[in-house]
């Protein structure tokens, strides 16, 4: 991963002011970015940077001399497009770049907000991507490796009209493994209110087939259920190394987490989604479920805690999960007997009688696995439970975890994010759900 910058590792710092007139094709930002040399830093002063043509940059630093493009300290820097072609071109395309840091910028609009088109050793951090025509951030052209995408605020995607609109938050890789993203980290991002009208969907973070060795950690993702209902996190598998999905907080999704193969899914808090908490089923691009470890997750308040089809599954383990779906099904779908189950507890209908899956009793000291260190978004949510004593205890004062508890938890999460930047214009009616 990119090394920390020190003054000695910088070749030159360049400062840029926003244009006096927005909307032209000869943009100073694009020209200056494309001229950066290893070790250079481009600092954007506060204001609006807008152009009507394609905005594409190719920036190649070195491991010892990365290039930095950032907002000036405390500056509100907005990269956007004129209103009459807001969704005609992508807002920014980062093409065949390496050893690059992009930090602290706000990307409003564009067909896609930020599109990575091949590259390696790139840091994309502390940015905001919002009000996009279709998807917000995509890595679906060319191969990528060793990317760090962290602490970004990604929201209100898929705002154009029509029946074929997709609105993924972060789209990683290509269908059928035609391009791959490997050894990359997606962490501590806040992703929400994603809209779609097409089968392509509005997943929060989607990692396509063949992309492996990636880590999805500490993200707070919600409301991937506007127009269509898609997972907050979807991992296909099929790569040379497993992907990891760890310590995320997810709610108001279609499925909270959907996974097919080659993944470790652990220590996530998943609640109040419309279809399921965790889904493990075959997909047309990955034919059967295999090589999964699903462990120490807290799954609350879904129509089905687990939705599965494990009839041809290989090497699937459920260990130490709390599956609390009063009023819903614990497990929906065939083939659970093909999996290895240890120390899982559950409440709800359709609770299979089998070793390793027992009914949760009110008053138990804690849900399994909660001793693991909790980070970032997960910790924000868990403070509510810790304040009540037992992590398994209600937020309200009765003996069951119910909709009132989930409502209180969501209120706490939203309160923690009230300082986050809101969209600068009213979203469509669908986006206000």
For residue 380, the domain's CATH number is 2.160.20
DSSP 62-89: -SSS-EEEEEPTT--EEEE--GGGTTTS
Q: Please check whether residue 432 lies inside any domain of the structure.
A: no
Q: Please check whether residue 21 lies inside any domain of the structure.
A: yes
φ and ψ at residue 195, rounded to 5 degrees:
-120, 145
> Strands (DSSP E) along 151-217, which ranges?
153-157, 170-172, 181-182, 185-187, 190-194, 205-207, 215-217
53 vs 301, more confident: 53
Q: Hey, which of 120-129, 157-166, 260-269 has the most confident mean pLDDT?
A: 120-129
- CA torsion, points 180, 244, 318, 176, in degrees to nearest 10? -10
Q: Please check whether residue 430 lies inside any domain of the structure.
A: no
In this prediction, residue 271 has a pLDDT band, given cuts at 50, 70 and 90, of confident
Output the six-digit token pair for 123: 């840091």
Q: Please check whether residue 100 lies inside any domain of the structure.
A: yes
Task: Examine the pLDDT at 93 and tell me if it is beyond 50.
Answer: yes
pLDDT over 70 percentage in the chain = 80
- Per-residue pLDDT of 143-159, as tens digits, reads 999 999 999 999 999 99
Quick one: average pLDDT of 67-82?
96
In Å, the largest CA–CA distance within the chain is: 70
Task: Examine the pLDDT at 100 and tell me if it is beyond 90.
Answer: yes
Full residue range of the structural domain in which residue 276 is found: 7-419
The answer to whether residues 121 and 63 touch, using CB atoms and an 8 Å cutoff, is yes
- Looking at residue 404, its pLDDT comes to 59
SS3 content of the chain, % helix, strand, coil (to 5): 10, 40, 50
Cβ neighbours, 10 Å, residue 231: 27
Q: Please check whether residue 165 lies inside any domain of the structure.
A: yes
Task: Examine the pLDDT at 397 and tell me if it is beyond 50.
Answer: no
φ and ψ at residue 32, rounded to 5 degrees:
-65, -40
Instruction: Give the global pTM.
Output: 0.88
Nearest to 310 by CA among 364, 260, 242: 260
425 vs 408, more confident: 408
The answer to whether residues 291 and 266 touch, using CB atoms and an 8 Å cutoff, is no
Spatial distance between the Cα atoms of 117 and 230, rounded to a whole number of angstroms = 25
- Looking at residue 406, its pLDDT comes to 57
Q: Please check whether residue 399 lies inside any domain of the structure.
A: yes
Quick one: average pLDDT of 409-432?
43
For 178, residues 6+ apart whose C-beta sits below 8 A from its C-beta are none
Overall domain count for the chain: 1
The answer to whether residues 38 and 99 touch, using CB atoms and an 8 Å cutoff, is yes
Q: Please check whether residue 1 lies inside any domain of the structure.
A: no
The answer to whether residues 148 and 124 touch, using CB atoms and an 8 Å cutoff, is yes
Residues 146, 28, 73: CA angle, nearest 5 degrees:
65
Q: Please check whether residue 427 lies inside any domain of the structure.
A: no
Bridge-based pairing state of the strands 77-80 and 114-125? unpaired
């Amino acid at each position: 991963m990119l090394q920390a910058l020190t003054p000695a590792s910088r070749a030159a710092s360049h400062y840029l002011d926003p244009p006096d007139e927005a909307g032209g094709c000869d943009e100073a930002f694009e020209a200056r970015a494309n001229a950066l040399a290893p070790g250079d830093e481009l600092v954007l002063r506060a204001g609006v940077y807008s152009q009507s043509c394609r905005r594409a940059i190719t920036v190649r630093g070195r491991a010892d001399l990365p290039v930095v493009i950032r907002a000036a300290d405390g500056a509100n820097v907005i990269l956007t497009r004129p209103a009459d072609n807001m969704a005609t071109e992508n807002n920014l395309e980062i093409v065949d770049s390496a050893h690059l840091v992009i930090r602290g910028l706000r990307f409003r609009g564009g067909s896609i907000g930020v599109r990575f088109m091949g590259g390696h050793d790139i840091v994309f951090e502390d940015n905001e991507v919002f009000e996009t025509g279709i998807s917000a951030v995509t890595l679906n052209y060319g191969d990528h490796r060793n990317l760090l995408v962290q602490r970004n605020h990604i929201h209100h995607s898929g705002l154009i009209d029509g029946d074929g609109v997709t609105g993924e938050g972060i789209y990683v890789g290509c269908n059928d493994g035609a391009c791959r993203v490997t050894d990359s980290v997606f962490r501590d991002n806040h992703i929400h209110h994603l809209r779609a009208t097409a089968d392509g969907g509005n997943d929060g973070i989607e990692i396509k087939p063949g992309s492996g060795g990636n880590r999805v950690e500490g993200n707070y993702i919600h409301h991937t259920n506007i127009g269509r209902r898609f997972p907050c996190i979807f991992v296909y598998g099929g790569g040379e190394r497993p992907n990891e999905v760890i310590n995320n907080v997810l709610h108001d999704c279609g499925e909270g987490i959907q996974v097919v193969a080659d993944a470790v899914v652990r220590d996530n808090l998943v609640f109040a989604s419309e279809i399921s908490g965790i889904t493990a089923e075959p997909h047309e691009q990955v034919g059967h479920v295999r090589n999964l470890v699903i462990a120490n997750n807290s799954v609350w308040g879904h129509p089905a805690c687990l939705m599965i089809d494990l009839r041809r599954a290989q090497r699937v383990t459920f260990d130490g999960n709390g599956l609390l779906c009063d009023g819903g099904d614990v497990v929906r779908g065939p083939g659970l007997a093909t999996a290895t189950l240890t120390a899982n507890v559950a409440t709800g209908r359709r609770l299979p009688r089998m070793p390793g899956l027992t009914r949760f009793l009110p008053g138990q000291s804690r849900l399994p696995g909660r001793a693991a260190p909790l980070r970032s978004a997960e910790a924000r949510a868990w403070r509510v439970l810790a304040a009540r004593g037992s992590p398994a205890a209600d937020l309200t004062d009765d003996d069951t975890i119910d909709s009132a508890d989930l409502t209180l938890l969501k209120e706490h999460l939203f309160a923690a994010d009230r300082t986050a930047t809101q969209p600068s214009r009213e979203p469509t009616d669908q986006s206000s759900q």
